[in-house]
């Protein structure tokens, strides 16, 4: 399982990238294949990559799309079903991008529609 980290300051202070980097260093055993950090104002996400399959492609994480950002360790078993339900025509979408689209469509109820092994922060 890869490492994910996130934080939000409720008082509006900006999240410092170095804080997330420290969080990811504490989970270094979960991120031998690199780390990435994303911050915007009072919110920040971090991802530490642990590739489990040789053919696994490196996907940009955290992924930002408009007003949302997501980091995830995910394997969706119902990708095709979700792509059809979401009307997404691009089968090359990452599993994290599919979860983001599912959240946009179904809101906080989206995890009930996901089959697989996943953990994500949005």
pLDDT of residue 56: 47
Q: Over the Cα atoms of the chain, what is R_g? A: 15
| Alpha-carbon span 63 to 38, nearest angstrom | 8
DSSP label at residue 94: -
Beta bridge partners of 120: 72
Q: Which CATH class is domain 3-53+60-121?
A: alpha beta
Instruction: State the pTM of this model.
Output: 0.83
Task: Write the pLDDT tens digit of every residue in 48-100.
Answer: 988 876 544 455 568 888 889 999 999 999 999 999 999 987 888 889 999 99
Task: Write the pLDDT tens digit of every residue in 37-56.
Answer: 999 999 999 999 888 765 44
Write the CA distances from 25 to 30, 55, 69, integer angstroms.
9, 25, 21
């Amino acid at each position: 399982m890869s490492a994910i980290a996130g934080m939000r300051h409720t008082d509006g202070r900006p999240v410092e990238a170095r804080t997330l980097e420290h969080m990811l260093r504490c989970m270094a055993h979960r991120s031998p294949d690199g780390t990435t950090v994303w911050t915007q104002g009072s919110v920040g996400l971090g991802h530490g990559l642990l590739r489990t399959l040789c053919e696994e492609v490196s996907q940009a994480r955290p992924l930002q799309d408009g007003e949302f950002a997501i980091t995830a360790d995910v394997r969706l078993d119902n990708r095709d079903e979700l792509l059809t339900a979401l009307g997404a025509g691009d089968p090359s979408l990452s599993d994290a991008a599919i979860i983001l689209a599912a959240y946009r469509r179904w809101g906080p109820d989206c995890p009930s529609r996901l089959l697989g092994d996943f953990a994500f922060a949005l």
